[in-house]
Structure 1
């Protein structure tokens, strides 16, 4: 995508917020983002004031998820529920001035690269509190009214990802075995809640004071709230650490903080089920993203590398079977 060509249309979008004469400076693609393009830039008003901002753009062939306009609505609803969220400046669809769906939000300073969160000496003092903070934030996520945003997917998640695996059209017997076990051993259903769908180390911004913002609401849906806790604990998001919660804390801290913040009691067997579901789901996503590369939908070394990780998740999920 031609980022230079976006500067003019983007300035037009920002003029509605900052007035005529606003300029766009330093527009550049940021690290990460396999399914959306994320760019950092500065908006400079006619009066010379500088606003550090983030632009997220949709990409052709990306993993299906909530439109960015809906993500913007969700971020506003999340902020109202007490979830740390960046302010949404503007959003639009693919029929708008940028030629792709987009959202512009304030840029929150801090670290989002997982390995740095787990190893940066400057974050050492806060790492021991992150698991508990995740529990508190997830309790707030699950307080968002299920009707706060229209159009949220309410489909059965296990059925959804079984169908996705079938559509990929490749043999993955370990994933199929795990999904079959999960289907036969479902925990009792909970009252439906707004589920972030991708709450993990790498999708929030951390500073010396803790988690400053939750990002990437593209996979949000209505479902079982414990799905978010299980996904956070999946092995892929530990990045080599022995700590099960995002690589920075034990299960007990997450559960205790979640329950204390009003998220409801968490059964450990139930959490294990959703963690196992998360590992299988990530394996399917890796296969799906690799298919985007192989099919020519988006040629990307990052997407190709994800294909190698399918086998890692197959191994992990087999170790979780009783």
Structure 2
């Protein structure tokens, strides 16, 4: 945070709160590919919370309307009993000079990092009851009055997602198949309510006593409340755990908590539809984030890394659609002639892995944000190393296999699926698509 920005924010808060605001600590927090998040510590004053959280749009990418909507959502959520931070100030409908588009809120206790929530012993006693409590929280959330949150988007979710998909890149077979399945199996809407839009492990603050806060309302909109339940159950948000509700526990407990609070018993088939939608939606969001990397900024590397996570969603969607594993086994293998030393030794994969190790070692003892960014950099270097080792040969192999199906490229095959000329139920097609996805995933994230 620049001195100019810090001074402007301190002056603004002093005016809003009627007490002199002096920051004694300012720290950029890790995570948050779309917005900056800062921890602010202030001098003790009865009118001023000692710890604050600042969320702001990156300079040059301000969206004050959405920021204002998010601030109103926090206030209305608190009214219906959803645990949320208190909004201290926000920029309103226009970016403020020297500060931009932002909101400032109180800092709540608790942990949001999924890996800690799922693995640390201190959360062991609370994990088992979280699915039920999350269901009750959603039951309260869906009682929010939409009129109290001006500016909530209201659109057909599937058509909107299709528009974002076509805007952010070429067609992919697994995603085309998912759109087709969602269209063919779409259930009637249960009702319309405020939908949080990003209610998941990672946006929930938890301590040993339970849920302490629901964060990040920037994607709130009007829609079917079952969308929030399906998103919470999407595999991406389980972080390696086998349990479907955020990695914590069962759908039955989630549904029971929701019914006890709202009087509405979720239909498992409807929630499943939204779970498929959630995996497809996350794939499209990953493509959107990768496109944003072209705008520059200090999180470019993270955005590029997120773009490669589309492969995870493709794998999840094929599993959800019941496409069987390929019989060809492990497709990824060394792709180059080891005797080919045109560019000398060591080879590019070995060079990249050496840089990867260096980046991790060089960040030891650094501040948390630098450590986080070094891990992202090491992850990207690992992707590049794996692709360099197998990329050429596998491109040639898949070009041949696609040709045997009558297509020159994967995009052409995807368009064939869109047109209904072929389906994934046809064994040769399903095998090629499964192998394409598995190969991408083993390069992008072999531990997924």
TM-score, reference length from structure 2: 0.68
CA distance in 2, matches of 1:193, 1:78: 13
Q: Which one has the largest radius of gyration?
A: 2
2:57 is aligned to: 58
RMSD: 2.1
**CA 1:202–1:271: 2 relative to 1, 3 Å:** same
Instruction: Report how far residue 21 of structure 1 moved.
Output: 2.6
1:300 is aligned to: 300
CA distance in 2, matches of 1:180, 1:126: 39
Deviations 1:11-61 (A, max 9, x none): 112113443432022111112111110000112256797610000001257
1:15 is aligned to: 14
**Aligned pairs for 1:201-212 within 5 A:** 201-212=201-212
CA distance in 2, matches of 1:20, 1:188: 52
1:150 is aligned to: 150
CA distance in 2, matches of 1:146, 1:237: 27
Instruction: Report how far residue 298 of structure 1 moved.
Output: 6.4
Instruction: Report how far residue 187 of structure 1 moved.
Output: 0.7
1:91 aligns with 2:85: no
Secondary structure (helix, strand or coil) at the match of 1:147 reads helix
CA distance in 2, matches of 1:263, 1:319: 32
CA distance in 2, matches of 1:65, 1:158: 26
1:30 aligns with 2:24: no
Q: Mean Cα displacement is larger for which, 302-311 or 9-18?
A: 9-18
CA distance in 2, matches of 1:49, 1:290: 39
CA distance in 2, matches of 1:241, 1:46: 43
Secondary structure (helix, strand or coil) at the match of 1:266 reads coil
2:160 is aligned to: 160
Secondary structure (helix, strand or coil) at the match of 1:261 reads helix
1:239 is aligned to: 239
Deviations 1:86-132 (A, max 9, x none): 00000004531443210000001211111111111111110111111
CA distance in 2, matches of 1:270, 1:48: 47
State whether residues 283 and 313 of structure 1, in contact with CA within 8 Å, keep that contact through their aligned partners in structure 2: yes
State whether residues 64 and 95 of structure 2, in contact with CA within 8 Å, keep that contact through their aligned partners in structure 1: no
**CA 1:120–1:299: 2 relative to 1, 3 Å:** closer
Secondary structure (helix, strand or coil) at the match of 2:277 reads helix
Between Structure 1 and Structure 2, the one with more helix by share is 2
**Greater RCO structure (CA 8 Å; 6+ sep):** 1
State whether residues 36 and 62 of structure 1, in contact with CA within 8 Å, keep that contact through their aligned partners in structure 2: no
**Aligned pairs for 1:161-200 within 5 A:** 161-200=161-200
**CA 1:301–1:11: 2 relative to 1, 3 Å:** same
2:225 is aligned to: 225
CA distance in 1, matches of 2:247, 2:285: 21
Instruction: Report how far residue 65 of structure 1 moved.
Output: 9.9
**CA 1:64–1:318: 2 relative to 1, 3 Å:** farther
Deviations 1:56-101 (A, max 9, x none): 0012576989621211111000000110010000000453144321
State whether residues 43 and 50 of structure 1, in contact with CA within 8 Å, keep that contact through their aligned partners in structure 2: yes
State whether residues 21 and 45 of structure 1, in contact with CA within 8 Å, keep that contact through their aligned partners in structure 2: no
CA distance in 1, matches of 2:43, 2:101: 23
CA distance in 1, matches of 2:83, 2:173: 40
1:135 is aligned to: 135
State whether residues 68 and 103 of structure 1, in contact with CA within 8 Å, keep that contact through their aligned partners in structure 2: yes
**CA 1:85–1:46: 2 relative to 1, 3 Å:** closer
**CA 1:279–1:47: 2 relative to 1, 3 Å:** closer
Unaligned runs of 5+ residues in structure 1 are none
1:5 is aligned to: 4
State whether residues 4 and 27 of structure 1, in contact with CA within 8 Å, keep that contact through their aligned partners in structure 2: no
**CA 1:299–1:11: 2 relative to 1, 3 Å:** closer
Between Structure 1 and Structure 2, the one with more strand by share is 1
2:76 is aligned to: 77
**Aligned pairs for 1:32-51 within 5 A:** 32-45=31-44, 51=50
Unaligned runs of 5+ residues in structure 2 are 323-448
CA distance in 2, matches of 1:61, 1:164: 21
CA distance in 2, matches of 1:307, 1:269: 30
Instruction: Report how far residue 294 of structure 1 moved.
Output: 4.1
